[in-house]
Structure 1
């Protein structure tokens, strides 16, 4: 009897709010399952395989697809909670409801942009590394990281713009980053640019060719390969990979 009286004393709007919460819980679960399947069918797991974010997610017992799907479920459930609070007519809910309804979707989009930026940045690094694998110069190792962090930086700026950070400040930050990137690239890649210029000259003038026996500085051997950046020479025991800028700096002697 006491339980029935207690239940009878609960306002109807509270029961409605509880029903909204239950529906939201079920709906958020459905959203997680559907989004996970959609992302899997779209081939996202194969596209992001090998990225640092995916490896980190695996170590945590999850995956990138699962994290994105769960975020969408949390987004639905959080909105449901505030709808339930409104239905229950909780005091002060109306004060921040309008602002919150506008902010939560932006926060969700910002989180997705950050995750996509991290994954795309990792994938860009892998692709650049693959393209530069044949270039035997230590300076090129900085290019994959530059590409990765450039994608990260742009993703952070876009995410910040989603949550209301001043656009002008973001544009200024982007301009500063671009200038810093150009300056750093020139400093870090200057030896490679020198080698490229020297290699272009050597290929055009054909100062020596494959099969010639040459001496470059302290290295002597048969020329095996010449490209824009380096010259490969091979002796009986060793193979030397000489940056083309050193050919100009140290000079070259053809052995007759």
Structure 2
């Protein structure tokens, strides 16, 4: 995916509020790109532009052939339907793609199995913990056949142990189906352990301050490694 000279502003009364300014970046297909920046800098606006929920004032977004089609979203909150079972919440997104109910159930169960929740398929969302509900949301995002994954700080409000558990659940699914993933966060540690490309963002109007390509395989990464320390220092100096 290539972002070319994106500009975006909002009209507030008689004034224009610039959010993105001359924003350009190339993201390799099948990679994870993490955008790290301060709250309110425009990260969610960028996701909405990529997901075609809004349009830029100028500039363009070009997708490769394998990236074309629908998008999958993973939000800060699970957004599950409370009246449906866990299994039905995942099966629901498969209905436009598979007519056979048994096939949908089989596929949905498979994604729940991959996040360790297959035995909870008959539970309602309010019977699960917050972390389990977010696992269901991860399973649903991957069940939906979007070729681009958009993540809007989905692990932000969770404690440290649970956050890393969900990061691992996400990565286990991504490794099996390497979709182009755009992930916005303000947590540098998450970005370093998840992403192929880490992008350091400025405050509004949002621009790119630095980019870091992470060459170390994910299973060998450590926040205490020289590579990680150098990148972390760039964010805090």
TM-score of the pair, normalised by structure 2 = 0.24
Structure showing greater radius of gyration is 1
Flag the structure with higher strand content. Answer: 2
Flag the structure with higher helix content. Answer: 1
TM-score of the pair, normalised by structure 1 = 0.23
